[in-house]
A and B are shown apart, each in its own frame.
Chain A
Amino acid sequence: MENLSISDHPPPPPGYQHQQQQQQQHGGAPPPGGQGMPHGHHPHPHPHPSLGRPPQPQHHPAQMFTTAAQLLDLTDKKLMVALRDGRKLLGILRSWDQFANLVLQNTKERIFVPPNTAGPDQTKGLYADIERGIFLVRGENVLLLGEIDLDKDDDAPPGYELADRKLVEELAKQKKQQDKLKEKKKVRKLGVEGFEGENLGEMLL
């Protein structure tokens, strides 16, 4: 599982090795780790049923479709991790396993407050960062991982501006309280109608 990537070769079937060596001698093999090229497309100068790999229904190597391959491409990249409790973490992905348990380095927690939380004169949303250090996140708490476009990383999200951390924390707390009350009301009303809701008692943010 260690060396899987979308851009890796699948292991050649027995009998294929010889042919590949020949190809290398003729300078026909692509450089290892080439980006983005599907590798089901090796030219087979002498196709032979016993030498060629079995026909593949798709032009994607099979190991591309594992959790490991998907996460490997994100390793050592700066990511935004959204957690089930609504937290947004920004950090560098250093390690992971098949359950999407994650280790993040240089983690910052970013808190957001939407416009109009503090009152009608707060026209812009606010955000602030809190340094958190190293995080080990249990996979079940992960909603999604997003690779951050480094070109856009330094810009504030549209409609938002950086604000004092204490202020944002305070407003976020208020907002959470309000949302909790709203959600409670909603769940109660739905409950009366006989609905059970997929996340009853646990709000996904």
Chain B
Amino acid sequence: MLFFSFFKTLIDHEVTVELKNDIRIRGVLKSVDQYLNIKLDNIQVVDELQYPHLSAVKNVFIRGSVVRYVHLPSGSVDVNLLEDATRREAANQAGKGK
């Protein structure tokens, strides 16, 4: 659930989602759910002419399973906090395993 929570902190930031079919879509992150399905608003497709089917589309719901990368604005990521959270999550997981 860590990354679900993490993405929730990025709501209303502009991100670029790269799909497994190489399409890159930039837009404002509007929502995310437990499968890391992503909803973007005001989208812009990088290399738009190659993907004519997206020309009339203004917001997208992207299925989490087809996402390869999410490019984040570095300014909006608190790296220390994320490190802490990651360790805490790892410790919790280890605790559960015993």
Contact = CB atoms under 8 A, between A and B. Distances in A.
Contacts of B68: 198
5 contacts: A58-B8, A65-B32, A69-B33, A146-B43, A152-B56
B55 A152 contact: yes
Contacts of B34: 65-67
Interface of A: 6, 58, 60, 64-67, 69-71, 74, 80, 82, 84, 88, 100, 110, 112, 114, 125, 127, 139-140, 142-149, 152-153, 155, 157-160, 198-199, 204-205
B56 A155 contact: yes
Given A157-B52, A198-B68, 6 more contacts: A65-B4, A65-B34, A144-B66, A145-B61, A152-B55, A157-B53
Interface string B27-53: 000111111010100010000111011
User: How many interface residues does chain B have, given as a range?
Assistant: 20 to 34
A144 B20 contact: no
B58 A100 contact: no
Interface of B: 4, 8-9, 11, 19-21, 30-35, 37, 39, 43, 48-50, 52-63, 65-66, 68
B21 A149 contact: no
A-side interface mostly: mixed
B57 A149 contact: yes
A148 B56 contact: yes
